[in-house]
Structure 1
């Protein structure tokens, strides 16, 4: 056995020797989310490290190709986070390459108020105006009717996330966007593997985004991805990701276009090196090859992870059915969610509060999380941000005051799910 094979063999042995901890109710933490890593993931990271390809390289490229195939889309661009993916997706719509179709400062982009900030922030960071709409309780998504009511002659795009993996009405939103000549950015960061009307989420928008932070469906440690079948938008995303350069050569590769010193762009002299010609005000948001290797290893487990997430959600939903004082989550009609979490809203007239219930669960080592920003317009960061509210944000305010979620991720066992159910039932019974 050569040295490399020996290292990888010992890596597998090391992983197997770590074993799994026994679950002790009330002692072992039940996290709301987290990465689930096996020996193949550990080997993938070590093997990539042995290659000493520390920037994006062959593992990253193979992941991009495989991930695009998974969705049935033409292009996937691996980036360093889901937040960066959202920034690139929305930012690509401001590119001069789009001509008169480009988004310009002051244009409106419709989004929901009850979401994660990184769906909203790219709108603000690009000088656009977020227009906030309300959500439904139970699904925690907005509706096509609320979106349509928010459209004005200044509206140019819509950008939403599938709440906790529960698909919004993506087909109807896509049709609305098409009818109104709006761009549609589909934030799929919480919903990889979910389907709506038999079709994977992340395939409805002009662009879609994925996060591979440890909390998400697959992980690269840190990481994200922008996907599209629009080759013009894909080209812009790549440029913005790679410093804004016009060249599309891979790092360390020269003259892919065979005319590196033959271009004349802008007011640069003819023959100026294409590798150092910049067509966008961009960033460096690339991922590393180690991230690509881990993401590629995890990709083969999407279906497995989805089955466990659905099982855990079902155990919680069935076990908590009928518990007084709670609004339980509901899948969107026509959907099959690969759930990110299990949302619970404590009814405003319940004999206990959301804070009391979450404090009880935390005392039992059951991790809880708020539904992200609740009504994000109430946060100090957005106090002076130009925005518009369409209608009322009544349910977003209820989410802010009364909603939290608990975990369904694949490290949660049936025993753990049962303990969470028993704890909530016990708490609700005490307060009658």
Structure 2
């Protein structure tokens, strides 16, 4: 890069910062007019600069910035390896599919093997189980934490159980250390779906660092964003190699895009029934996908990762303010953090009691009329969803609380774009609704 082009680049980036200032909203909250969203990306001028800088350098595929992000993200979770993907859903698919890889030998999962998971959740935690010919074993949740419990997981372990795949619901960690102990005791794999919980701690350790594999999402609704994106993390170098191969078409070669012969044996392998010296760049050891991301997404995610602590603190404060403000409001079951956990909350769950003189539909419509956005607790009881009709699965115990979630639960936002003034407006709106029934 010449001195002149370097100066031009700096001028462009300064213009980007100026542009960001010019279009920034005034930030005034107008009750009943300004929407109080459930989630959203919180972006700054430096995020915009990071994207433009990557574009100026034409980093349109995965490259140096992707590698920088993967190393930084692995350090954040205290694990050895991280692989950036194009979405959190793809990360879940890769994590479960990796457990079926022939590279694991006799430890690989096979069609018909059972995987314990939670009935009340998001489909892409469960879909990879079915997509790999495995059998979900559904367990119920607790209505205080919206997570399952170690005793429910233990009761579901059977002779064909091979893995546990569970999400930290709305950022609230499940009792992951105890579940990890159960997995080790019974020789099971544990996959943590950490997509809603980045920044959460259980017994002082980051969630996403307990399982054999964990996943993250960088969709705009999540704790940090890359626009679209996700990540798979792990400590096992064998699983890391399998995940990378599955993500990158199933190839056996580990060269970076545009790189040749990093191993100095490109034409020196003999694998499968291929002729001697067949180009390693075109040798495939897994039945894989193309689920890669780009350096543009990595540039944004890397900048956002530096603000994770700030975002986590804001989420916790908004959740605390809601919890205190709604304490004592009749007919509401309020959430609690899992013991020994410090959640980085994704949302604030509310469940109506059975004796409430109104329906969830009525309360949700009232809140929405006040521009307070609401969301169901994802798919509710997945067993009742049409997508799973006729599918092979097993249920252990009653799914009573999962049905309650389906019929009487919803959640509201705590993301960092919500101000204290907005939270107070939400609390006042709940209390206005309650006053109608006094």
TM-score bracket, normalised by the shorter chain, equals: over 0.9
Match of 2:358 in 1: 352
| 1:431 alignment partner in structure 2 | 437
Q: Secondary structure at the match of 2:171?
A: coil
Summarize the alignment of residues 313-392 of structure 1 with structure 2, pairs less than 5 Å apart. 313-392=319-398
Which residue of 1 is the match for residue 296 of structure 2?
Answer: 290
Q: Indicate the SS of the match to 2:170.
A: coil
What is the CA–CA distance in structure 2 between the aligned matches of 1:3 and 1:268, rounded to whole Å?
Answer: 51
User: Deviation string for 1:334-358 (max 9, x for gaps)?
Assistant: 0000100000001121111111110
Q: 2:15 — aligned with what?
A: 10
TM-fit CA distance, 1:428 = 1.2
Correspondence for 1:48: 54
Q: Matches of residues 181-330 of structure 1 in structure 2 within 5 Å? A: 181-330=187-336
Cα drift, residue 384 of structure 1: 1.4
Aligned counterpart, 2:175: 169
* Offset of residue 19 of structure 1: 2.5
For the 8 Å contact 2:349–2:411, the answer to whether it is kept is: yes
Select between 283-292 and 21-30 the one with higher mean Cα deviation. Answer: 21-30
Matched, 1:57 2:66: no
* Number of aligned positions between the proteins: 432
8 Å Cα contact 2:349-2:409 kept in structure 1: yes
CA distance in 1, matches of 2:8, 2:203: 51
Contact 2:139-2:156 at 8 Å conserved across structures: yes
Q: Deviations over 1:64-123 (max 9, x none)?
A: 011111111110000000000000001100000100000000000000010000000000
Aligned to 1:22: 28
1:31 maps to what in 2? 37
The Cα of 1:59 is off from its aligned counterpart by 1.1
Q: Does 1:122 align with 2:128?
A: yes
> 3-state SS of the aligned residue for 1:120?
helix
CA distance in 2, matches of 1:81, 1:385: 25
- DSSP 3-state at the match of 1:87: helix
The yes-or-no answer on 1:394 pairing with 2:395 is: no
- Once the two structures are superposed, residues 216-272 of structure 1 have per-residue CA deviations (whole angstroms, 9 ceiling, x without a partner) of 000000000000010000000000000000001111101111100010100000100
Q: State the Cα deviation string for residues 287-343 of structure 1 (Å, max 9, x = none).
A: 011000000000000000000000000010000000000000100000000100000
How much is the aligned-residue C-alpha RMSD, in angstroms?
A: 0.7
Residues 12-58 of structure 1, C-alpha deviations (whole Å, 9 max, x = no match): 11111223331100001111000000011000000000011211111
After TM superposition, which residue ranges in structure 1, 4 or more long, deviate above 3 angstroms? none
Q: Normalising by the residue count of structure 2, what TM-score does the alignment of the two structures yield?
A: 0.98
For 1:385 and 1:222, the matched residues in 2 are separated by: 29
The answer to whether residue 185 in structure 2 is matched with residue 179 in structure 1 is yes
The DSSP-based 3-state class of the residue aligned with 1:164 is helix
State how far apart, in whole Å, the 2-side matches of 1:18 and 1:288 are. Answer: 27
3-state SS of paired residue (2:142): coil
Q: Secondary structure at the match of 1:131?
A: strand
CA apart distance, 1:362: 0.3
